[in-house]
Amino acid sequence: MSDKHYATVAVTGVTGALGSRIAVRLADRGVPQLLVGRSPDRMPDLPGAQRRGPAGYGDASAMREALEGASTLILVSGHRTGRRLEEHATAVEAAIAVGVDRVLYVSLVGASPTATYLNARDQWLTEQFLAGAGIRHTVLRAGFYTSTPAALADKGFVVSGPASTGRAAFATHEDIADVITAVTLDERPRSEHDGAILEITGPEALTLHEAVTRIATATGRPYRFEPETLEQAFSRRWREGMSGEQIETWISWYQAIEKGEISSVTDVVPRLTGSPATPISDAAWWPSPNTARGTP
């Protein structure tokens, strides 16, 4: 813990994988925090942190109450609902209303109105809203998580999808949390991060075959990748009981990899943290098979 006195930071998503890691890092640095979310009883117990809520992003008055007293808001993007832009916009407007003066928004690499991955489209919408909201902000685009291929595997450790030999620069939750922590702790009134879009990636772009083979070596489990055609990808997921929206979303994740939309490698992790980006084989956390959101 440092002797420096930091302004209060509100962190959302703290019942999840990324927000919880950010909150732990800020607590370690002695930053006073407001942990904001829908289920305060599931939030971590951290020194210097108050639990606030219940407050969902779309609940303007609950968000205003929860954010009261914060100087910076770290807004971890919420789950896909079809109204993600409206929910995020409500959260940002609540922050502005109670005097928050900086928003760090956790978006997604590849965010674009024409992104192949459907989740990257509404991330772009929030980025656009933020750019016009009149508040100091930084967009932190998280790379595709190293954990996702492991979570997508079936019970036999097979990851199947229409990604062919396309590549993605998978990033660990730890590196992403480290970068967000570094930006948060930079409290200079004018920082090069203001208005910036930082793309947080791993150190190399891997095919899914390479990524899954490395996960197998790291875990000692028999993960393997089996490429699918689009037709195979659809019919298997339909047989397994996925909804049309889930099928469309997951196929688009693999297709974004096939098209190389997630393949750029940036220097953001080493530049902001002073340490090299973590290779997938050194990731600290592997979720169990069949645990990706929206898998049957």
Ligand X SMILES: NC(=O)c1ccc[n+]([C@@H]2O[C@H](COP(=O)([O-])OP(=O)(O)OC[C@H]3O[C@@H](n4cnc5c(N)ncnc54)[C@H](OP(=O)(O)O)[C@@H]3O)[C@@H](O)[C@H]2O)c1
Cα gap 276→174, rounded to integer Å? 12
Contact pattern for ligand X over residues 47 through 76, marking x by CB under 6 A: ---------xx------------------x
Q: Is 101 exposed, middle or buried (0-12, 13-18, 19+ CB in 10 A)?
A: middle
The reply on whether position 77 binds ligand X by CB under 6 A is yes
Strands 167-168 and 158-161: unpaired
Q: Name the segment binding ligand X (CB under 6 A); options: 142-150, 215-223, 235-243, 276-284.
A: 142-150
Q: Does 18 bind ligand X (CB under 6 A)?
A: yes
Binding of ligand X at residue 87 (CB under 6 A)? yes
Residues 3 and 244: their CA atoms lie apart, in Å, by 53
Quick one: 15 or 232, whose CB is closer to ligand X? 15
Verify binding: residue 161, ligand X, rule CB under 6 A. Answer: no
SS (H, E, C) 30-46: CCCEEEECCCHHHCCCC
Please give the size of the binding site for ligand X, defined by CB under 6 A: 23
Q: Which of 31, 32, 46, 78 binds ligand X (CB under 6 A)?
A: 78
Judged by CB under 6 A, the residue of 9, 10, 11, 12 near ligand X is 12
Q: Which SS3 state, helix, strand or coil, does residue 111 take?
A: coil
Residue 108 binds ligand X, judged by CB under 6 A: yes
Closest CA to 175 of 31, 32, 18: 18
- Cβ distance 296 to 242 under 8 Å? yes
**How far apart are CB 202 and ligand X at their closest, in Å?**
11
Q: Does 37 bind ligand X (CB under 6 A)?
A: yes
Q: Does 17 bind ligand X (CB under 6 A)?
A: yes
Return the structure tokens found at 289: 């098979």
Q: Interface residues with ligand X (CB under 6 A)?
A: 12-19, 37-39, 56-57, 76-79, 87, 108, 142, 144-145, 148
